[in-house]
A and B are shown apart, each in its own frame.
Chain A
Amino acid sequence: DVKVTQSSRYLVKRTGEKVFLECVQDMDHENMFWYRQDPGLGLRLIYFSYDVKMKEKGDIPEGYSVSREKKERFSLILESASTNQTSMYLCASSTRAGNTEAFFGQGTRLTVV
């Protein structure tokens, strides 16, 4: 069974902390994505990566960075967490072909206090 695994289901962090969200996929997919999901706003793309060490800004990259050192792992970094980054974060992966569906992790609910 194909899997996208996010390292934490729930996280509580303090304002100003550096936060790492990890995502691992076992499908040898080229593309990986980080979204945040907020009520009424749907899924908004933060960053995506189409290859190792490659990254592209999504629609809301401010306050975030990413790292992709290995094909199977895509990390989202909050450099200095703020309360407005409290959200559900979803990781996804897909093939480079672009005509196949994305597979999603279960999500990480991050609360910044």
Chain B
Amino acid sequence: AQSVAQPEDQVNVAEGNPLTVKCTYSVSGNPYLFWYVQYPNRGLQFLLKYITGDNLVKGSYGFEAEFNKSQTSFHLKKPSALVSDSALYFCAVEVAAGNKLTFGGGTRVLVKP
């Protein structure tokens, strides 16, 4: 069975400081990894994905994530957080060609001015 863990329910950060949202996964096989963001009263929006190749992937709105196979992690990062980054962030995993997309519990990010 595949699973995703987001160990922090909430992350608080001051505007301008670096932001990190943690994600670890468990799968049998090669993973496809995704980050999504949900703004209040909105559907989920895709941020970035890791499929293969370079372990550091860059996505929308200045976000990036690093795939670490040995630690089975895929942490989301942003060098300088904005108040507008305050939202709910979800990590997701899909086994290559497996079709089933599994999400973590979500991490609420609060960026304070």
Interface residues of A (CB under 8 A from B): 4, 31, 33, 35, 40-45, 48, 50, 56, 58-59, 90, 92, 94, 96-107
Determine whether the beta carbon of B44 is less than 8 Å from that of A90.
yes
For the complex, give the distance between the alpha carbons of A92 and B44 in Å: 9
Determine whether the beta carbon of A106 is less than 8 Å from that of B43.
yes
CB distance from A3 to the nearest CB of B (A): 11
Residue-by-residue, is B80-111 near A (CB-CB < 8 Å gives 1, otherwise 0)?
A: 00000000001010111111111111100000
Which residues of chain B come closer than 8 Å to A59, judged between CB atoms? 102
Q: Which residue of B lies closest to A35 (CB)?
A: B103
Which residues of chain B come closer than 8 Å to A35, judged between CB atoms? 103
Determine whether the beta carbon of A98 is less than 8 Å from that of B43.
no
For the complex, give the distance between the alpha carbons of A92 and B46 in Å: 12
Determine whether the beta carbon of A101 is less than 8 Å from that of B34.
yes
Q: Which residue of A lies closest to B51 (CB)?
A: A99
Which residues of chain A come closer than 8 Å to B94, judged between CB atoms? 98
Determine whether the beta carbon of A40 is less than 8 Å from that of B105.
yes
Which residues of chain A come closer than 8 Å to B51, judged between CB atoms? 99
For the complex, give the distance between the alpha carbons of A31 and B43 in Å: 18
11 further contact pairs, Cβ within 8 A, besides A4-B43, A44-B103: A31-B99, A35-B103, A43-B106, A45-B101, A48-B101, A50-B99, A90-B43, A97-B97, A98-B95, A102-B44, A104-B43
List 10 A-B pairs, minimum CB-CB distance, nearest first.
A42-B105, A101-B46, A43-B103, A104-B43, A104-B44, A42-B106, A99-B51, A106-B43, A50-B99, A98-B97
Determine whether the beta carbon of B101 is less than 8 Å from that of A92.
yes
Determine whether the beta carbon of B99 is less than 8 Å from that of A41.
no
Residue-by-residue, is B18-37 near A (CB-CB < 8 Å gives 1, otherwise 0)?
A: 00000000000000101010
B8 at the interface (CB under 8 A from A): no
Determine whether the beta carbon of A107 is less than 8 Å from that of B32.
no
CB distance from A78 to the nearest CB of B (A): 21
